[in-house]
Amino acid sequence: MRLSIARQNWRLQMENVRKDDKLAWCEHGRMLEDEFVLRQRFDDVLIGINPDKDDNPFTYDMRIDMPCDLKSAKTPWRKSQEMFGINPRYAVSINQKDLRRYARLYPNIVILFDVDYPEYKATHWATLDMMRMMREGGDMALHQYGARIDDTQGNAKASYVFDVTLLPRLRGQDEKA
């Protein structure tokens, strides 16, 4: 209740602020950020104000903590070009059952693909929505593991193979976008 009254008062004050009063608009933005953080209700996601905002009101607004899983790719899919039309230099896979499990248990998960191939080294990331759009758009090929049809040890029976460069890349400290 106090927050909404404060917001109403601030809104009245902001009506009289000049559009070019940068500091006032930064303060207004900070109030909206604080309000957002207080009312967030996301599944297994925590959002907080960037602590650097205290010293620099022009830095980015928030930090986010969410579930994340790492997929390490150390061995290239050597036959991916013939099998799926995907350059082996960039072909990675993710188990079909993993995607289903993530969707059921962790709807806001981020998946990291750490690729360490002889000709390509990078870390890319994806959300479940991104993976779904790639699958629905035909950017992922389903590979059935013939030797695992009767598997009873929990091994994946199918994986999606795709070009990892279709996903955004995490940049290192020394890299430019």
Q: What pLDDT, on a 0 to 100 scale, did the predictor assign at position 11?
A: 54
Tell me, yes or no, whether 84 and 99 share the same domain: yes
Do 41 and 81 have their domain in common? no
Average pLDDT, the chain: 85
Average pLDDT of the segment spanning 47-62: 90
Q: Containing domain of residue 145, as a range?
A: 68-166
Distance CA 9, CA 133 (A): 43
**pLDDT tens profile 140-169:** 999 887 666 666 665 667 899 999 999 999
Say yes or no: 53 and 91 in one domain: no
Q: Give me the half-sphere count of Cα atoms (radius 13 Å) on the Cβ side of residue 51.
A: 0
The pLDDT of residue 15: 60
- Whether the CA torsion 93, 98, 104, 107 is positive or negative: it is negative
pLDDT tens-digit readout, 55-80: 988 889 999 999 999 999 999 999 99
- Residue that terminates a domain, selected from 41, 65, 89: 65
* pLDDT for the residue 58: 84
Q: Residues for the chain: how many in total? A: 177
Distances 82 to 86, 91, 158 between C-alpha atoms, Å: 8, 12, 18
The domain tally of the chain equals 2
For residues 57 and 11, state if they share a domain.
yes
For position 117, what pLDDT does the model report? 97
